[in-house]
Each structure stands twice: as C-alpha cells, then as structure tokens.
C-alpha cells in the first residue's frame, strides 16, 4: 500500500460521499416526480438549495453551544466515515485493525449529533422528533453492526479491508447471505426515508428534529442527510456486494457509482410507493429484523 | 307525525304544522322535558339559533331544530326569552351535540345557558368586549367595538402532562385553527380546540346590507371547496319560504354541479389523507385525477369554482349539448381511474396499517354527537339528505348510500371512495335525463316573516340553512350550520387514547372545513370590488392595528 493510493482514494471517497450526494438527491427527486406525474426540479436543484441556505441568516433559537456545533459535527463525521469504505479497490483508504468499530462508532455519532441539535433547541416538536430518532437509531443500527461482525467472524479479522477481500474471494456463505439480506431490508430505516422518516414527519411534527434549524446549520444537516444516504448505499454495495471488481481504481469507482445509483433508485421506489409508518410499527419491524440478523452471528460462529 | 304531536302537546303552548315542519311553541322552563321527549322519539338534533325580536316584541326567540329522519319531519321548538331575563337551562345533558351551538348563541346573542359544561367563548375573538353581541339587531354591522384585553380561555393541562400545540398555523392544516393535544408520552389524554380565527360575520352582513339576490354570491364564498352547496341551500330555503317552484331543468343543473363538487372534494380528501401519512405519490395522482373536474367547471361556468350559478328562482347559466358530451367523456375517464385508485388503496397493506383501528367513533357516540356525512356513514348510521329529505333533482334519481361499520379512518376512506363512484353514476343519470326548458323563473316580491329550512348533502355531510324572510327585501335571519360544525365536536372522542402520530390523520379524517364552520369572507362586497393592497398599504394596516 503506497501513499499515492491512500491520497487518491481518500479524495475520491470524500468526493463521492460529500460532493456528489446532492446530485444523487436531485436524481431521487426527479425519479419521484416522474412516478408522481410531475416534471420535477432540475437535477442540480439540491446544490442550489444548499447554496441558498448557506447564504441565509442564521437564527439562533437557543444559546446552547451543543446546538451550534453539532450540525457541523454531523457533516464532518460522514466525511470521516467515508474514508473507511473501499471504493477504489478491495481496501479502504484508512485500513487498520478494528476499523469496523470506528466505523460503527462514527455513523452513530452522525445520528447522535442531530439528536443533540434537536434536544438542545427547546422545541416540543423537536423533542418528539429527537426521541423518535433515538428509538429508531437504537433499533436499526445494531442490524448493521451485527452484519459487520458476522463478516469479521467469517474473515477472522476486524479490518473492513480483510472482510471485503475474504468475501470477494470466497463468495457468499449462508451467514453472509443472511446478513446481506438483513442490511438490505434495513437500508430504508438506516437512510431515514419513508416509510421510516418518522423523526422528521412533516405533516405530524412539522419536520421534528429539523424544525428549529435555519441557514447554514440547516444546510449542514440537510447535506449530512443526503450524504448519509450515499454512505449507507455505499456500505451496502461495497462491503456486502463487492462484485464486480477490476484492477483499475477509476473503473472500480465507475462500477461503484452505477451500483449506488441502482440501490438509490430502488430506495426511491420504496419511498414513493409507501406511506409513513408509526413509530411503534417501525420499531416492531426493526426489532424483528435485528433478532433475525442475530442468527447470522451464530451461523458464522458455526462456520457456515 | 300525529304520534309525536300528541306526545309533545302536553308540554307545549301551541303546535303548528307548515308543510313538513312541525313548529312547537313552549316555555323556557320546559325545554329540558321537550328535548328529552324528542330524543326518546328518535329525533336528531340539527341546530340551535336565535332570532332577535327585542325591538318589536321585547324578546329573543330561541329556535331548536330537530328532525325525524324516518318520517321526514322537521321539528322547530320555539322558546321566547324576555329581554330582562335572557337565561335558559342548557340541554347539553340530554343532547351533547348542542354544546357548540349554545356557546355560539351565548357569544352572538347574549343568551345565558345555565349548567353548560364549557361556557367559554366559541366564535368571538378573545379581545372582543364583554356584553357586545353582534347578531342582535341593535348592533350596526360595520361598527368596531373597542378592544378589551382578556387572557385566552384555554384548558390547563393537569400536572405531569404536556401540551402539544397543533396550530394556529401548521404545515398539515391549510387554514388557521388551534388544536391543543394534552399528552402523556405519545398518548393523547385530552383535547382542546380554539378556532373561528376566520369568522367574518357573513350572516350579519347578509341580514343587514344585502338583498335576496345578492346573498347567493356571498353564500358560495363561505367555503373554498364546496361553495355551491351553500348557495344552493340558501336559494332553496328562500324558494321554500316564498313558495317559488323552480323549473325542472334548473333542478337538474343544480344536482349536476352538486355531484361534480362532491366528486372533486372527495378526490381532494383522498389526496390529503395520503399526504398526511406521507404517501405523496397517491396524493399527486388523486389530484391529477381530480383536475379534469375543475376543467369541466371552467368550461361551463368560466371559473374553476362553480361561482355565480345559483340565484333565487333558478340558475343563471344553461348547459349546451356539447358540454354534456364533454362531461360524459371526462366522467367515464375519471370512473376508470377512480376504480384503479380504489384497487390500489384497498390492496395496500401499509396504508391499512396506518388507517385501520385509528380514530374510532362508535355508533352510539356518532349518534350522540349528531355527526353527519361520510363520518356518520362510516360509523354505520344510514343518513343521507339526498335520500332522507330529497331536494333538487334527487327525488327522480336513483341513489345508493354506501355504509361501513368498522367505525375507523379506514371506513371513512372506503365510504368516500364508494361515494365518488355513486356520484359518477348520478352524473350519468343526470346527463341521460336532463329535460329541456327554461332555467329560471322571475321572482316577485317575497312575503316577510315566512321561514324555511333547507338541507343539502354536502361532501362533508348534512348542511343546514335556515331563512326567515324580512320586511326590507332581505332575510331577517339567515343561519348556516356547516357539516364540519357537528363533526368537530366528535373529535375529542376520536382523539382520546390515540398517539400523536395519528392525530393529524384523525383530524383530517373528518375532512374539516374551517371556512364553512366559521363562515368567513374575504371580498369587500359593499363596494362590489376586489381590493388589492400594496405591500406598503398592508404594512400600514398591520401597524395601525
């Protein structure tokens, strides 16, 4: 592993996850519009939205320092997490023992940052939104963690790079197949889109966690949400479906982009063809899935 | 009719029968007994309003309207209250549905109801001075009483419970209204409502500044969605009072537009219900299906809303042969699409997860609060004014009343979807059998002091208009009770025990229409022109306040 590769793939990863995410968001908006018999906004609309919000006045509804910092924290954390995903090859730019724990930790921080922002804003709707988001995170993130640990047991290593390399060369066994399916089924909840956008539910609690945000902070949280969608789709496509792969890093990037676009397309279909669930119904779904995914760990320990 | 007459005879001073109305004169002390007897006979409370006769006879007359659906009789209980002692005992124990109407009478006429469970203001704003009652005849319609500061009368939550405010401005509500959900965790334990932010005194304006033929144009602007029902109901009431028989073709045209209005109103509701649970695709598609109905209205009347059609004595427009063909084409297309829409909704399991067993209104509660329209029919009450008190062309047409007994939001959805199809079948019948002939008759002088009641089955339920003709070429009293007015009062039953996430859906499921309920108006009719304000003028207005 050379320094040149690390720099190149770091730059590419951040570019895809942070800078291309509004483009993917514009893509979902266009798809949604087509399904709903509308024309829809231009493909680059999400960039315009972010730019506009960046220039808006920043209204401070509270003096709580947590409220000021956590929106930026969420964007930075996503950027960090993107460095732990292999896009250019089988190995991510940051590759060290135990990086799956760092990864799980960082993606939790993204959610926590938004929950902190909401709780610090002293708005009843934001409180409800924060408590709903907390419950959703607690119920859905274990599924991803269990799936990663299943991979780690199979590969015998706590490095994401090793897990992907093992999966790529050995092909799926029963336990990996099970966790892949579980991650796919929890993807919508991980991204926080309908039917799982319960913490933001515009018509119920008026955007909930986002209600008190404005200007650059709102832009950051929006941006973090868009990037989170790309990040989790990449987690699914790069770690749980690592095929096909070529020798050339740039071709690998193109393959990854195509795969992510396909997954985002499926997720948009689900989003526009379903109503929102109630929090108790969503929790029931997630917990059933979590119990189901636990079996994959036992299967991995048994070696199948 | 004779049976009811005999029973009430003992506790009333005088009984009269005029057409289908049974008018019972009674004393203030007997109102509770009369109400009890009527309820025991199966009478349904409709509305309570008052008539100010202080200048002529030194009393205010209370009118309690009941109806016996099966016998097609209206019962009007008239009770005079001396000016010196404007007080009567509340009948809310016997008829819970009267609560809002009594509060409104207290606000607008200054009648005190003893033993009322919730004697707060309903209609008047919080800064309105005490003792000024706008619907009394000695109150000039454009006078502005001085503001008086009072704390808003809101329910206080018990300790340990929090208030979740929905409104006065809220993304899921199109108009201002203030719902206060008192919650424990995610469960709603109590509910409070403050509305009437857009009350504009339409009744007062009509009673003091307009004439018979101008009021239909005011009436149709009561509501932004179903305006035609109001102008039809008003015109019917005046025609009944003045004994005017309108041509059959005019009756058919009224029925046609009433059904077109129900069609687009129900499709609008399906879209909004889907939007409330975040299903925007269904929302957009429902509204796309609705759009051609608006086109038809525009082709025939010149505007998307069916404004300017009704006058006393008939309708102002005629429908041409090519319009009928156009309507038939569009209606068949809509029927096809609505059937597809219904299939999609019935087959969608996630929608059912959200809609089933939510916002339950039991059959008994629905009866108790006298709800009407799809809300009542979804609780198994077979009531439809088109069948019970047929008007316009409905006596000739064949109408099916869809019922459902599961009492929840899902039932209301299914009932509304069925009603769209029923409306389509009615429109087809109208297109087939619309007769030739004139569309209006000339109206000569209208006799004063005649009264009439008219019902319309509006998209949201039973609409009630009461007109008493007056001596100055305008009604002496015109009272409007929109269907949402009754349906709102049942909300507290539906919301108790529900979770916050379901609250917007439950509120949405009665298809609340604030402007109907509150009878508001935005156009300056005195100068008969639309006023356009510049930003500067608006700023000046807001600063002047």
Write a three-state SS string for chain A.
CCHHHHHHHHHHHHHHHHHCHHHHHHHHHHHHHHHCCCCCCCCCHHHHHHHHHHCCCCCCCCCCHHHHHHHHHHHHHHHHHHCCCCCCCCCCCCCCCCHHHHHHHHHHHHHHHHHHHHHHCCCHHHHHHHHHHHHHHHHHHHHHHHHHHHHHHHHCCCCHHHHHHHHHHHCCCHHHHHHHHHHHHHHHHHHCCCCCCCCCCHHHHCCHHHCCCCHHHHHHHHHHHHHHHHHHHHHHHHHHCCCCCCCCHHHHHHHHHHHHHHHHHHHHHHHHCCCCCCHHHHHHHHHHHHHHHHHHHHHHHHCC
Number of inter-chain CB pairs under 8 A, A vs B = 80
Task: Tell me: do B210 and B146 sit in the same domain.
Answer: no
- pLDDT at residue B524, as a whole number: 32
Mean pLDDT of B516-540: 43
When scoring A203, A206, A277, A282 by the number of chain B Cβ atoms within 10 A, the one with the most, hence best to mutate, is A203
Report whether B313 contacts A304 (CB < 8 A): no
Interface of A with B in 142-201 (CB under 8 A): 194-195, 197-198, 201
pLDDT band, very low/low/confident/very high, at A48 (cuts 50, 70, 90): very high
Q: Are B142 and B215 contained in the same domain?
A: no
For A78, A165, A270, the CA distances from A95, given in Å and listed in that order, are 17, 12, 34
Residue A210: pLDDT above 80?
Answer: no
User: Are B124 and B248 within one domain?
Assistant: no
Q: Which of residues 483-522 of B touch A (CB under 8 A)?
A: 499-504
Task: Look at residue B535 and tell me if it is in a domain.
Answer: no
Between chains, do A281 and B353 touch, taking CB under 8 Å as contact?
Answer: yes
| pLDDT score of B527 | 34
pLDDT given for residue B10 in this prediction: 73
The reply to whether residue B278 touches residue A278, judged by beta carbons under 8 angstroms, is no
What residues contact B267, with CB distance under 8 A and at least 6 apart? B286, B287, B289, B290, B293, B338, B420
Is residue B235 included in any domain, yes or no?
Answer: yes
Same domain, B148 and B206: no
Disruptive mutation site among A131, A275, A276 for chain B (greatest number of B CBs within 10 Å): A275
B280 chain-A contacts, CB cut-off 8 A: 32, 36, 272
Mean pLDDT of B222-242: 87
Q: What is the mean pLDDT of residues A152-175?
A: 85
pLDDT for position B531 = 39
Q: What is the mean pLDDT of residues B423-429?
A: 92
Q: Which residues of B touch A202 (CB under 8 A)?
A: 171-172, 278
Which among B153, B175, B191 is the end of a domain? B153
Same domain for B147 and B217 = no
The whole-angstrom separation of Cα A198 and Cα B354 is: 13
- pLDDT tens, position by position, A211-244: 777 788 888 888 988 998 899 998 898 888 887 8
Dihedral in degrees, nearest 10, Cα atoms A147, A149, A151, A155: 180
Chosen domain end from B153, B171, B191: B153
Mean pLDDT value across residues B307-315: 87
Per the CB < 8 Å rule, is A124 touching B164? yes
Least confident piece of the model among A96-105, B24-33, B120-129, B154-163: B154-163
CB contact under 8 A, A36 and B285: yes
Regarding beta strands B73-82 and B21-25, do their DSSP bridges make them parallel or antiparallel, or are they unpaired? Answer: parallel
Asked whether the predicted pLDDT for residue B24 surpasses 80, the reply is yes
Reduced to 3 states, what is the DSSP secondary structure of residue B441?
A: coil
More confident residue, B500 or A103: A103
Averaged over B348-353, what is the pLDDT? 85
In this structure, the dihedral spanned by the alpha carbons of residues B161, B166, B172 and B176, taken in order and rounded to 10 degrees, is 170
What is the predicted pLDDT for the residue at B528?
Answer: 35
pLDDT digits (tens, 9 = 90+) for A101-130: 888 888 888 888 888 877 777 777 787 888
A127 min Cα distance to partner chain B (Å):
11
pLDDT score for A264:
92
Token pair belonging to B39: 């309820």
- Whether residue B487 contacts residue B512, with contact meaning beta carbons closer than 8 Å, is answered with yes
Cβ count near B116 (within 10 Å): 17
* Residue B544 confidence (pLDDT) above 70: no
Looking at the structure, tell me whether residues B102 and B212 fall in a common domain. no
Cross-chain residue pair B284–A36, CB shorter than 8 Å = yes
Q: A278, B172: Cβ pair inside 8 Å?
A: no
Task: Please check whether residue B481 lies inside any domain of the structure.
Answer: yes
With vertex at residue B141, the alpha carbon angle to CA B140 and CA B145, rounded to the nearest 5 degrees, is 70
Asked whether the predicted pLDDT for residue B525 surpasses 50, the reply is no
pTM, two decimals, is: 0.83
pLDDT at residue B535 above 80?
Answer: no
Looking at the structure, do residues B34 and B132 belong to the same domain, yes or no?
A: yes
Q: How confident is the model at residue B521 (pLDDT cuts 50, 70, 90)?
A: very low
Both B149 and B221 in a single domain?
A: no
Assess whether pLDDT exceeds 90 at residue A262: yes
Q: Does residue A60 sit at the B interface (CB-CB below 8 Å)? A: no
Shortest alpha-carbon distance between residue B321 and chain A (Å): 32
Q: Backbone phi, then psi, for A46, in 5-degree steps?
A: -65, -30
Is residue A122 within 8 angstroms of chain B, CB to CB? Answer: no
Same domain, B294 and B368: yes
Q: Which residues 267-296 in chain A show a CB within 8 A of chain B?
A: 272-281
Cβ distance of B162 and A38 shorter than 8 Å: no
Local confidence band at A168 (pLDDT 50, 70, 90 cut-offs): confident
Nearest by CB to residue A36, choosing from B281, B500, B502, is B281
- Assess if residue B192 is contained within a domain: no
Which residues are CB-contacts of B532 (< 8 A; sequence separation ≥ 6)? none
Cα angle: A181, vertex A182, A183; to 5 degrees:
95
- Chain A CB contacts of B279 under 8 Å are 194, 274-276
Nearest to A78 by CA among A48, A53, A119, A108: A108
Burial profile B2-24: b = 16 or more Cβ within 10 angstroms, e = fewer: eebeeebeebbeebeeeeebbbb
- Least CB-CB distance to B281: which of A128, A273, A281? A273
| B65 has a pLDDT exceeding 60 | yes
User: Which residue among A37, A198, A207 places its CB closest to the CB of B284?
Assistant: A37
Q: What is the CATH number of the domain that holds B496?
A: 1.10.645.10
State residue A200's pLDDT score: 74
Instruction: Give the per-residue pLDDT at B425.
Output: 92
Chain A residue whose CA is closest to B286: A36
Kindly indicate the confidence band of residue B516, based on its pLDDT and cuts at 50, 70 and 90. low
Q: Is the C-alpha dihedral spanning B197, B200, B201, B202 positive or negative?
A: negative
- Res B300: pLDDT: 85
How close is the nearest chain B Cα to the Cα of A123, in Å? 10
Do B149 and B285 fall into the same domain? no
Residue B195 belongs to a domain: no
Quote the domain boundaries for residue B309. Answer: 202-518
- Residue B514: its pLDDT value, please? 66
- Using a CB–CB cutoff of 8 Å, tell me whether B279 touches chain A: yes
Q: Is B162 on the interface with A (CB under 8 A)?
A: yes
Mutate to test the interface with A, among B349, B499, B501, B509 (most CBs of A within 10 A): B501
List the CATH number of the domain containing B36: 3.30.460.80
Please tell me whether the interface predicted TM-score (ipTM) of this complex is above 0.85.
Answer: no
Question: Is B163 part of any domain?
Answer: no
B337 shares its domain with B444: yes
> What's the CA angle centered on B323, arms B321 and B327, to 5 degrees?
120
Query: Please, what's the b/e burial string for B196-230 (b: 16 or more CB within 10 A of its CB; e: otherwise)?
Result: bbbbbbbbbbbbeebebebbbbbbbbbbebbbbbb
B357 contacts in A (CB within 8 Å)? none
Q: What is the mean pLDDT of residues B359-371?
A: 87
Neighboring chain B residues of A133 at a CB cutoff of 8 Å: none
Quick check: A159 pLDDT over 90? no
What pLDDT band is residue A266 in, cutting at 50, 70 and 90?
very high
Q: Which of B138, B153, B168 is the last residue of a domain?
A: B153
Name the residue in chain A with its Cα closest to that of B353: A277
- Asked if residue B537 belongs to a domain, the reply is no
Q: Torsion angle of alpha carbons A65, A70, A72, A78, nearest 10°?
A: 160
For residue B381, being part of any structural domain is answered with: yes
- Are the C-beta atoms of residues B525 and B214 closer than 8 Å to each other? yes
H runs (alpha helix) in B41-88: 54-57
Average pLDDT, chain B: 83
Number of domains chain B contains: 2
A33-37, A99-103, A176-180, B194-198 — which is least confidently predicted? B194-198
Shared-domain flag, residues B356 and B450: yes
Specify the pLDDT at position B515: 62
- Look at residue B435 and tell me whether its pLDDT is greater than 60: yes
CB B172 to CB A203 under 8 A?
A: yes
């Amino acid at each position: 592993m050379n320094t040149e590769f690390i720099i190149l793939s770091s730059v590419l990863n951040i570019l895809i996850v942070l800078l291309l995410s509004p483009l993917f968001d514009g893509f979902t908006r266009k798809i949604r519009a087509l399904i709903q018999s509308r024309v829809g906004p231009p493909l680059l609309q999400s960039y315009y939205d972010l730019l506009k919000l960046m220039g808006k006045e920043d209204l401070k509804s509270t003096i709580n320092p947590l409220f000021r910092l956590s929106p930026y924290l969420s964007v930075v954390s996503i950027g960090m997490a993107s460095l732990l995903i292999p896009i250019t090859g089988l190995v991510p730019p940051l590759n060290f023992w135990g990086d799956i724990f760092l990864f799980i930790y960082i993606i939790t921080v993204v959610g926590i940052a938004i929950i902190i922002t909401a709780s610090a804003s002293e708005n009843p709707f934001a409180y409800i939104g924060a408590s709903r988001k907390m419950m959703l995170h607690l119920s859905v993130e274990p599924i991803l963690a269990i799936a990663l640990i299943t991979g780690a047991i199979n590969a015998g290593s706590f490095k994401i790079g090793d897990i992907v390399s093992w999966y790529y060369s050995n092909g799926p066994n029963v336990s990996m197949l099970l966790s892949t399916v579980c991650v796919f089924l929890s993807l919508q909840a991980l991204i926080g889109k309908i039917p799982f956008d319960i913490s933001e539910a515009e018509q119920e609690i008026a955007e909930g966690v986002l209600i008190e945000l404005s200007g650059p902070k709102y832009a950051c949280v929006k941006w973090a949400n868009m990037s989170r969608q790309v990040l989790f789709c990449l987690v699914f496509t790069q770690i749980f479906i690592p095929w096909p792969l070529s020798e050339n890093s740039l071709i690998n990037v193109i393959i990854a982009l195509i795969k992510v676009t396909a997954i985002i397309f499926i997720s948009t279909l689900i989003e526009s063809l379903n109503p929102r669930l109630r929090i108790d119904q969503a929790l029931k779904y997630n917990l059933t899935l979590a119990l189901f995914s636990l079996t994959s760990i036992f299967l991995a320990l048994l070696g199948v | 009719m004779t049976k009811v007459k005999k029973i009430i005879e003992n506790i009333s001073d005088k009984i009269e029968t005029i057409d289908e109305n049974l008018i019972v004169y009674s004393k203030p002390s007997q109102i509770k007994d009369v109400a009890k007897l009527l309820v025991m006979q199966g009478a349904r409370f409709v509305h309570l309003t008052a008539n100010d006769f202080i200048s002529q006879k030194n009393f205010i007359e209370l009118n309690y309207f009941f109806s016996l659906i099966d016998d097609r009789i209206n019962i009007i209980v008239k009770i005079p209250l001396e000016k010196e002692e404007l007080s009567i005992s509340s009948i809310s124990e016997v008829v819970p549905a009267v609560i809002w109407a009594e509060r409104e009478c207290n606000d607008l006429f200054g009648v005190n109801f003893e033993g009322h469970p919730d004697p707060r203001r309903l209609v008047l704003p919080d800064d309105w001075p005490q003792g000024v009652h706008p619907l009394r005849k000695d109150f000039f319609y454009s006078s502005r009483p001085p503001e008086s500061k009072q704390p808003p009368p809101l329910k206080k939550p018990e300790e340990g419970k929090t208030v979740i405010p929905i409104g006065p401005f809220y993304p899921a509500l199109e108009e201002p209204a203030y719902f206060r959900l008192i919650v424990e965790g995610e469960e709603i334990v109590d509910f409070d409502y403050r509305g009437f932010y857009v009350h504009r005194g339409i009744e007062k304006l009509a009673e003091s500044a307009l004439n018979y033929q101008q009021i239909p144009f005011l009436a149709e602007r009561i509501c932004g969605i179903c305006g035609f029902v109001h102008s039809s109901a008003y015109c019917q009431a005046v025609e009944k009072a003045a004994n005017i028989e309108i041509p059959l073709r005019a009756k058919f045209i009224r029925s046609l537009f009433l059904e077109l209005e129900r069609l687009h109103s129900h499709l609008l509701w399906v879209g909004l219900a889907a939007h409330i649970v975040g299903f925007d695709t269904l929302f957009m598609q429902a509204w796309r299906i609705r759009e051609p109905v608006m086109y038809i209205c525009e082709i025939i009347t010149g505007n998307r809303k069916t404004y300017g059609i009704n006058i006393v004595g008939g309708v102002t427009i005629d429908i041409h042969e090519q319009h009928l063909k156009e309507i038939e084409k569009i209606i068949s297309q809509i029927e096809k699409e609505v059937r597809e829409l219904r299939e999609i909704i019935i087959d969608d399991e996630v929608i059912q997860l959200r809609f089933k067993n939510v916002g339950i209104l039991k059959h008994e509660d629905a009866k108790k609060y006298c709800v009407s329209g799809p809300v009542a029919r979804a609780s198994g009450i077979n009531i439809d004014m088109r069948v019970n008190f047929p008007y316009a062309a409905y006596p000739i047409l064949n109408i099916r009343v869809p019922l459902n007994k599961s009492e929840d939001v899902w039932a209301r959805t299914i009932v509304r979807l069925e009603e769209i199809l029923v409306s389509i079948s009615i429109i087809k019948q109208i297109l087939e059998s619309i007769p030739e002939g004139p569309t209006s008759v000339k109206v000569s002088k209208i006799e004063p002091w005649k009264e009439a009641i008219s019902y319309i089955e509006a998209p949201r339920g039973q609409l009630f208009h009461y007109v008493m003709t007056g001596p100055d070429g305008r009604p002496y009293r015109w009272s409007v009770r929109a269907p949402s007015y009754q349906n709102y009062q049942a909300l507290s039953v539906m919301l108790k025990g529900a979770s916050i996430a379901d609250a917007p859906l439950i509120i949405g499921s009665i298809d609340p229409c604030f402007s109907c309920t509150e009878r508001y108006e935005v156009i300056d009719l005195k100068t008969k022109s639309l006023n356009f304000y510049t930003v500067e003028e608006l700023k000046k207005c807001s600063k002047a306040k």
